[in-house]
Structure 1
Amino acid sequence: MVRLAEPVRAHLHRPAASATAQVRQVLQAKIVLATADGLTNSAIARELKISVNTVRTWRGRSAWSHRAFAAQVTGTVFAPVSPSPN
Structure 2
Amino acid sequence: MEQIELFAIESPCRGVCENSKKGFCKGCLRSREERFHWFSLSNEERHRVLDLCQQRRARLIKARQERLEADSAKALPYGMEDESEPVADLFDF
Normalised to the residue count of structure 1, the TM-score between the two structures is: 0.33
Larger radius of gyration: 2
The answer to which structure has the higher helix fraction is 1
